Amino acid sequence: MNQRTPTAPSRYALQMLTLLESWGIGRESVLERAGLDQAEFNRKQRNLRITLAEAERIYVAAAELSQRKDLAFEFGLRLTPTSHGLLGYGLIGSPDIHAVWSLAIRQQFHLTAAFSMAYRRSENMGRAEFAPVGSMSQDRVWFYQEVLAVATHTTMRLLLGERMRPYDVRLAMRVPEHIERYLALSPTRFHFSPDAPPGVIVSMDAALLALPLPMPSPDIVAGVEKQLNKQLPSAETEPSWVKVVCKIINQAEQWPVTLKGLAAQLDVSERTVDRRLKQEGVLFSELHDGLWLDRACTLLSNNRMTVAEVAERLGYQDAANFSRAFRRRTQKSPSEYRTQHM
């Protein structure tokens, strides 16, 4: 697999610059603080993408110059469906909220490079998850989490209007100083937990997911996806090893997934997988444990499964061993978690 420098859609960096300009902070100042040449930046953004490192330097510079602790919150408020470029028209043309999530997952390359996205639908609930790709500082994780959480609210509010129903958004961070601003975003319910695995979890009931949108257009959605797929990296440029490994683990029917078994699927040595993941700042054990916890939480959210059945799905013959492993990671028993998240 050839390594590729991670890139991000340039439109979001441009919208951050526009936000700061509305506060009287010129984009020249932000780019200079970020150590970026304006002419070079303009040339790159015309190609729709800049490197992820360049985007993050702009966000850091914006935080330093604005001195706003609610910068990520403000940024998320401004990310409407049309902020996502061509993809935004596909979101607007989707038939319902379930279709919106499904489209966003299929086209996540055009949304975010710093976080991966996953979406699971059960009979009663839908669960969208954003998880950081690779290692990053706590401040960076918290910044992205706030942007993703608030942007989700903004999108749902604009798509549904007065038909908006309550749903839950969980952020793995301490309660921010501007918590009152979150409370004003009713009926969205935001929850903060600094001890949770890094990421954002959005939970919606089946009734909300099935709400029809006002301007469904299958032809527009199909056309948007056709154009967006043309912008994907060529087939010769393969995705990151973290994403490949995450996909294999998430699709596995039998848990736990071993490094040996995964390497065999990729037709490479265990050492190669380990080395490639380390180059992206991740250990296989850490990646597997994080996905194991995500899977465990998702299964526990299904009240039709007993704890023993969840344990069996995750490769435990003894439910007590599963309960001990779950408590070690979350400081809660499976039953306690289920009670709090149902």
pLDDT of residue 46: 72
| Beta carbons of 126 and 209 less than 8 angstroms apart | yes
Q: What is the DSSP letter of 212?
A: B
Residue 61 neighbours by CB under 8 Å, 6+ apart: 30, 31, 33, 34
pLDDT > 70: percent of the chain: 94
Q: Model confidence at 235, in pLDDT bands (50, 70, 90)?
A: very low
pLDDT band of residue 254 (cuts 50, 70, 90) is low
Q: What is the pLDDT of residue 253?
A: 59
The DSSP symbol for 240 reads: P
Q: How many residues does the chain have?
A: 342
Quick: pLDDT tens for 72-101: 999 999 999 999 999 999 999 999 999 999
Which of 108-122, 153-167, 235-249, 256-270 has the weakest average pLDDT? Answer: 235-249
- Range name among 42-46, 213-217, 295-299 with the lowest pLDDT average: 42-46
Percent of the chain with pLDDT over 90: 48
Strands 125-132 and 115-121: antiparallel
Non-local (6+) Cβ contacts of 48 within 8 A are 9, 10, 11, 85, 231
Mean residue pLDDT of the chain comes to 88
Name residue 133's beta-bridge partners: none
How do residues 93-128 score in pLDDT, each as one tens digit?
Answer: 999 999 999 899 888 888 988 898 888 777 788 899
User: Is 0.75 topped by the overall pTM?
Assistant: no
Low-confidence winner among 132-146, 181-195, 249-263, 316-330 (lowest mean pLDDT):
249-263
Q: What superfamily in CATH does domain 241-341 come from? A: Homeodomain-like (1.10.10.60)
In the chain, domain spans: 1-68, 69-231, 241-341
pLDDT at 4: 61
